[in-house]
Structure 1
């Protein structure tokens, strides 16, 4: 409920960004409890996966290790002969076949408990060791500025570098929806310029004048800065300079919702936006929390030594290996 806690939650979510914000909080809390109880050796989990997924990777859960409960989607099949009529969809029973000419779609109808284990709770076949980003203070990851700038232009916005901060009313950056332009100060270090561009890109993606966030400027600024923080954390950027307003100053503005509900919804919006941007960037990033060799559908695919070596060499060429 404080700005510092919010930042910690986002930094954690950046390492497990393919899972919902609520599930990342569940993993964070349960792993922290396991660490305090001496059941896992490290305060931060590295890779998490389900019981059978670890088996597919040649590893097994160590006897006595308790999994971390998360929520998995519960889906059902629906069919209709008139897809544009929302009221015409009917739920198919188990093993029921659709009628001739019907369209079938799956929908989420609820959630069910599922369990994941951190790699430290398993043993077996060794996982490939992939390089991780490490940067000196003020540096920007190779290719990140160009990647963010390309996405800004793909959204139909021009990118303007401004040398006079007074043109931005003292801000580091500004998004002008009417002029379809993103402006960034040019008199900052590389890391600050990248952070600002990521912040403005979040505005472009999330806060057009017709969006709900335009009615709650405080939440809009929190979302933009939070997306920038997650993008930075995924690249190993020092996030100590990222400023998030105190939670009570923005989470109480939405009528009909508790601050907790606003925080949960905001966190999920931020995670989705940041993950979508990170997916488009051709940069070396921390893993999204899945073990190497496991694709997003939860299927195992063997990484040959040649592929692993090539990937490591390619990423290593883009990373600064000096310590902070």
Structure 2
């Protein structure tokens, strides 16, 4: 649903006659009050916690989010959550933030000679006029919801294990920080109380050795923030002057945000810094420094995460090579240990290697373990017994550190993760996500028709594309479309729609009705929309109850620019959905919806022989029809699996086999 637009005209806001401008005014006042509240150390800490999750929002919107819901961790609009396979739960109150909504206006200006720079005169000696288009900045209030207010498919979490004194995780983090640091990092014994420092002359970072892991990581991030923000030559070139306390607080603010994002608690150390800085600061300076912390922390989180992912990928590739070599060594040992037995049981050595490798990847090593242990216990030659024990140790180590998904990850990297096609005057875009396959269908004018997320059940993206083409009737000749081009044109179309909506005159609340042969799947069978309730009842009566596509029904479509605008079932079969509708306070109190239900109840009493007393045979037939639909859907799923198998076969046929930290 498009958000409402608000034009900040002073006269309208002053007299309070424009409700939309009043709402924007209240939001801005809330923003200013929220910043004032942040002058206490406790409020600043809440902001920094918020920033660790919302670092891509502007400082104003970050403060708005924190002021309205300090516990928010991830927010998005209805459309955003839909794209993630989730939905906003009924009755949830949204968070209001400010979004740009610029408009274009045509104005006449005097025509200027490009060569002389002078005004061009017409035959009458008057300045010639030319019409130009100017972009006027405007803003609107939009509604977003925190992840706690939604349900549906689980969201992917940051794939970083919480630091818990494990050396592997700690060293990965330290290596990642070294990679994002613009200067070398070394450890040393530092005199005094300092835990680390960024040396402006030597251009290096020195960290106190022997500290706890969390303190070491926090201090490293703090000093890297100094190196990013407070390089002497860079500040001199930019004409920036900051006092020592501001520098320390910016660095500690960044350290707190980044550490919080990676679930490292540094509050006992960071809070005193932040609290002392909040005393006596002007509002303008506060907001300017907060923005610096927000932008810097966001960039550092991204870069550290990227380095951690690179390290993990390198580890996966190395582990895959180790498993390959281990499988070959075990196979060779089996040949040397009992050559005759090996030749009798293994026709092809390469096949034997693959069998061992597959068992290690799957973690099914019980038989291999028992065989190696038996060999180690019974071999007479000491060197052969030691070789068996060494293979056994390598086998146990490989199973502990490898999962099937990690090892096979590299094999899937060459498969496409997104595609776009044009067919039958429509466009289809599909991309692979952690939730499954996200798809969108556009018409010939690049307006979105439909979309959703399909669960990943092992099906290839090409099979998903083919299935969606059949579902949406894209049966004509198809050809690939450049994805960047499609996304750019779609974005331009959406921006044009936003600009057009800005000038749309809002109409009073409106409700219309639709009739569907299949209430559960309206796209199947007979369907009528944009009806009055009387018209809907006429169409409803004409649809036989024994149609093959399911139980017929009547629904309403509400158009009132609210969060609940859209379609909802009103009558399914012969059951008015009052029990469900009245559980939603907004619908329960809406006069148009309640009036429609009242009219349906009167209609049922007057026509009890037509609706209330439907025969059991008719209802049973309708349900059978619905089952046949589900049967077809199940058959479609089997077809998809067959396509998947064929595609996998084709794919297989095409496939080719710094300063050290102390």
Q: TM-score range by the shorter chain?
A: 0.5 to 0.7
TM-score by length of 1: 0.65
Query: For this pair of structures, how many residues does the alignment match?
Result: 251
CA contact (8 A) 1:14 1:234 kept: yes
Is 1:147 matched up with 2:176?
A: yes
Distance (Å, rounded) in 1 between the aligned partners of 2:275 and 2:303: 33
Over 3 Å counting, the alpha-carbon distance change for 1:143 and 1:74 in structure 2 is farther
Structure 2 counterpart of 1:134: 162
Render the CA deviation track for 1:173-209: whole Å, top value 9, x for unaligned.
1111221111111121121111111001101111122
User: What residue in structure 1 maps to residue 252 of structure 2?
Assistant: 225
Q: TM-score, normalised by structure 2?
A: 0.34
Residue 11 of structure 1 aligns to a residue whose secondary structure is helix
**Aligned match of 1:159:** 185
More helix by share: 2
What is the aligned counterpart of 1:14 among 39, 48, 52?
Answer: 52
Instruction: Work out whether 1:4 is the aligned partner of 2:47.
Output: no
How many Å separate the matches in 2 of 1:171 and 1:64?
Answer: 52
Q: Sort the Cα spacing of 1:109 and 1:247 in 2 relative to 1 into closer, same or farther, 3 A.
A: farther
- Residue-by-residue CA offset, 1:226-253 (whole Å, 9 max, x unaligned): 1011111011111233234476854577
Structure 2 Cα separation of the partners of residues 300 and 208 of structure 1: 48
Indicate how the Cα distance of structure 1 residues 71 and 249 shifts in structure 2: closer, same or farther if over 3 A, else same: same
Secondary structure of 1:161 counterpart: strand
Q: Provide the residue aligned with 1:39 in structure 2.
A: none
Matching residue of 2:348? none
- 1: CA distance, partners of 2:76 / 2:261: 19
Residue 122 of structure 1: aligned partner: 150
Q: 1:58 to 1:110 in 2, by over 3 A?
A: same
Q: Please name the residue that 1:273 is paired with.
A: 296
Gaps of 5+ in 1: 33-43, 78-90, 95-107, 285-290, 308-324
Query: Which range is displaced more, 235-244 or 225-234?
Result: 235-244
The separation in 2 between residues aligned to 1:110 and 1:149, in whole angstroms, is 43
Query: 1:300 Cα deviation (Å)?
Result: 8.0
State the secondary structure of the residue aligned to 2:308: coil
- Note closer, same or farther for the CA distance 1:266–1:133 as it changes in structure 2 (3 Å cut): farther
| Structure 2 unpaired stretches of 5+ | 1-38, 105-131, 310-432, 439-450, 460-662
Please give the alpha-carbon distance, in whole angstroms, between the structure 2 residues aligned to 1:236 and 1:59. 25
Q: What's the CA shift for 1:64?
A: 3.1
Inter-partner Cα distance in structure 2 for 1:142 and 1:111: 46
SS, match of residue 273 in structure 1: helix
- CA–CA distance in structure 1, aligned partners of residues 69 and 95 of structure 2: 7
Determine which of 204, 212, 217 is the counterpart of 1:181: 204
Residue matched to 1:65: 92
Do residues 239 (structure 1) and 266 (structure 2) align? Answer: yes
Indicate the residue corresponding to 2:214 in structure 1: 191
- Computing the radius of gyration from Cα coordinates, the structure with the larger value is 2
Higher relative contact order (CA 8 A, sep 6+): 1
Q: 1:251 to 1:151 in 2, by over 3 A?
A: same
When residues 214 and 69 of structure 1 are mapped into structure 2, their CA distance, relative to the original with a 3 A threshold, is: same
Judge conservation of contact 2:46–2:66 (CA < 8 Å) in 1. Answer: no
CA contact (8 A) 1:199 1:228 kept: yes
Cα shift readout 1:234-279 (whole Å, capped 9, x = no counterpart): 11111233234476854577xxxx6232222211110110110111
Q: Equivalent residues in 2 for 1:296-315 (5 A)?
A: 304=456
Cα deviation digits, residues 77-128 of structure 1 (max 9, x gap): 9xxxxxxxxxxxxx8447xxxxxxxxxxxxx9464322101233334x3224
Shift in CA distance, 196/57, structure 1 to aligned 2, threshold 3 Å: closer
Q: Which moved more, 1:171-180 or 1:222-231?
A: 171-180
Please give the per-residue CA displacement for 1:19-67, whole angstroms capped at 9, x wherever unaligned: 22332222222225xxxxxxxxxxx334321122223334333343221
Distance 1:66 1:232, change over 3 A: same
CA distance in 2, matches of 1:292, 1:23: 28
Partner of 2:474: none
Q: Is the 8 A contact 1:70 1:116 kept in 2?
A: yes
Match of 2:141 among 106, 110, 113: 113
Contact 2:225 2:251 in 1 (8 A): yes
Q: Does the C-alpha gap of structure 1 residues 220 and 18 become closer, same or farther in structure 2, counting only changes over 3 Å? A: same
- 2:344 corresponds to which residue? none
Q: Name the residue aligned to 1:283.
A: 308
